[in-house]
Amino acid sequence: MKNILIVLPDIFAIRNFLEAPFTKMNFKENDVRVVFVLSNPKKYRNKITGNNSIVLENIKYPRRKKGFKKYLDKLFLRINKFLNAALEYRFNKLNKLRHQIIKEQMHKKYILDKRHDSFNFLIKYPFPKSRMLYKLFYSIYNSNLFIENRTKDIINKYLPRLIIVANCQKAEVRSYTIEAERRNVKCFGFINSWDHLTTDGPVLKNIDEFISWNQRMEYELKNIQRTNKSVHNIGPIQMDSSFIKGNILNKNSLYNKISIEKNKKIIVFGVYNKRLGSHEPSITNYIVENILDKYNIHLIIRGHPKDATFYERYERFINHQNVTLCKAGEYINGKMRKKINDQILLNSVLKHASLVICGPTTLTLDALRFNKPIINIEFDGDLKLPPENSIRKRYKWEHYSPLLKYNAIYFVKNYQELEKAIKKSLEKPRELDEGRKLLRQMYLEPLDGQASNRLFNLIINLL
């Protein structure tokens, strides 16, 4: 049997693969076994029930395991994360990425405490723009030093023919790329998110080829990361599930499930976590008080998956009959949290929504998938923030700023423009169709629900 390892270092990579039809591919017929390496594998066993060709392995040694190797791995990971942070900063600085400039301006007053300031000092200096020091850090980071024992154990156990690493700039996957090169095993880097190539520093050196969603990612790999390695554009694998029958509730089922009155239109408002979305509760309050009744709207507020304070910050809207709060596979209905498959919930809500409101987030791409009118919030609600900490700055980040060039999204700078854009979106939902089509071609194509099949065929043909 031919084994392949797919390393998924965070919840977004896990979601993108395990929620996609990729796990349903016929690996057994091709004598292939897929080993997903991830955190907390017990949590995801239900995702692969009945498929004997898929195995889940813990990316770290289990808690019950004790010994020198485990503690050495913790030390090595800390060193690797330090090197990764230093490289990220210096790469962004050398390439004059606006993301880094804006981030530093924000950090001066609002984000970093003294502990983080000290850590930042260590990774920045000396000579943050020195190419010689950057090359030295990069050489050490991609060397045989500080290889985690858990990585060696997993590779020795399965002897894979191919290793695929998601988030191919991160310390958590570094050891896999180095061991792959040392053992002459093919290694692919999967670009897991559209902002990583311009925010997370350089891609790892020992990757042979890349797998991306779209043309824009390929452009960034070649022009910002400056790699001449092959790039396979397979489409957004996380959107494959939206093409599967049964993964989108019909309108009546959705309205009944989350108690929406049948004559109401849906607006989805995607909000940030507390640190980045401090302005959004006041905007939500404006929509609830001035928009819902006037335009016969039910508002669905979608929280960020990692926002632990979401329900607390939006508690005042829980009992509102025309507001539903939801995040990461659950929603609140009559103060009760109810579980639901997150992909089904997101797909169904977007399918039947009249428009989507958000900041410069991935929800913009999700809305494009369903060709929905999009309103991007470009002001700070009731807050009086300094320019360096305003939401407006984030639209200048490299991964998002190209969207401003297309006539595809309504960008609003105050409450009056917000209401005007909502009214226009409801009355003329197809007005910006042509611009959205161009954005889909750049950021989502090929978009046909076959990304999992393309990845499967790529793997099988390689083996």
Q: What is the per-residue pLDDT for 122?
A: 64
pLDDT at residue 112, as a whole number: 40
Q: Which two tokens stand for residue 294?
A: 């006037």
**pLDDT for the residue 411:** 97
The answer to whether residues 331 and 254 touch, using CB atoms and an 8 Å cutoff, is no
**Predicted local distance difference test score (pLDDT) of residue 158:** 98
Q: Which fold has domain 246-443?
A: Rossmann fold (3.40.50)
Whether the pLDDT of residue 144 is over 60: the answer is yes
pLDDT in tens, 423-456: 999 999 999 999 999 999 999 999 999 999 999 9
Q: Are the CB atoms for 440 and 375 separated by under 8 Å? A: no
Arithmetic mean of pLDDT, 148-176: 97
Number of H helices, E strands in the chain: 19, 15
Looking at residue 114, its pLDDT comes to 42
Residue 266 has a pLDDT of: 98
Integer CA distances (angstroms), 463 to 3, 213, 286, 420, 454, in order: 10, 22, 56, 55, 14
> Using an 8 Å Cβ cutoff, are 187 and 207 in contact?
yes
Q: Please check whether the domain covering 1-235+446-463 is classified as CATH 3.30.1330.60.
A: no
Position 111 pLDDT exceeds 80 = no
Q: What is the pLDDT of residues 46-80, one digit of tens each?
A: 888 778 899 999 999 987 777 899 999 999 999 99
Q: What are the beta bridge partners of residue 333? A: 336
Identify the weakest region by mean pLDDT among 20-29, 115-124, 275-284, 382-391.
115-124
Task: Band the pLDDT of 121: cuts 50, 70, 90.
Answer: low
CA angle 401, 273, 96 (to 5 degrees): 35
Residue ranges per structural domain of the chain: 1-235+446-463, 246-443
Mean pLDDT, the chain, rounded, equals 92
| CB-based burial label for 305 (10 Å; 0-12, 13-18, 19+) | middle
Largest CA-CA distance found in the chain, in angstroms, rounded: 66
Specify the DSSP element, H or E, that contains 122: helix 114-124
Mean pLDDT on 26-45: 94
In this prediction, residue 98 carries a pLDDT of 85
Measured in degrees and rounded to the nearest 5, phi and psi for residue 124 equal: -85, -35
Distance CA 428, CA 424 (A): 6
What is the percentage of the chain residues whose pLDDT exceeds 90? 79
Amino acid at 307: D
pLDDT above 70 covers a percentage of the chain that reads 95
Distance, in Å, from the CA atom of 141 to the CA atom of 51, rounded to the nearest integer, reads 37
One fold for both 1-235+446-463 and 246-443?
yes
Question: What is the Cα–Cα distance from 336 to 279, expressed in whole angstroms?
Answer: 26
Looking at residue 209, its pLDDT comes to 98
Please state, in angstroms and as integers, the Cα–Cα distance from residue 47 to each residue in 27, 87, 459, following that order.
Answer: 16, 35, 21
Mean pLDDT of 395-415: 94
Q: What pLDDT sits at residue 110?
A: 44
pLDDT in tens, 321-376: 999 999 988 998 766 888 888 899 999 999 999 999 999 999 999 999 999 999 99
pLDDT tops 80 at residue 124: no
Query: If you average pLDDT over residues 458-462, what whole number do you get?
Result: 94
Where residue 254 falls among pLDDT bands split at 50, 70, 90? Answer: very high
**Residue 306: pLDDT over 90:** no
188-209 pLDDT tens trace: 999 999 999 999 999 999 999 9
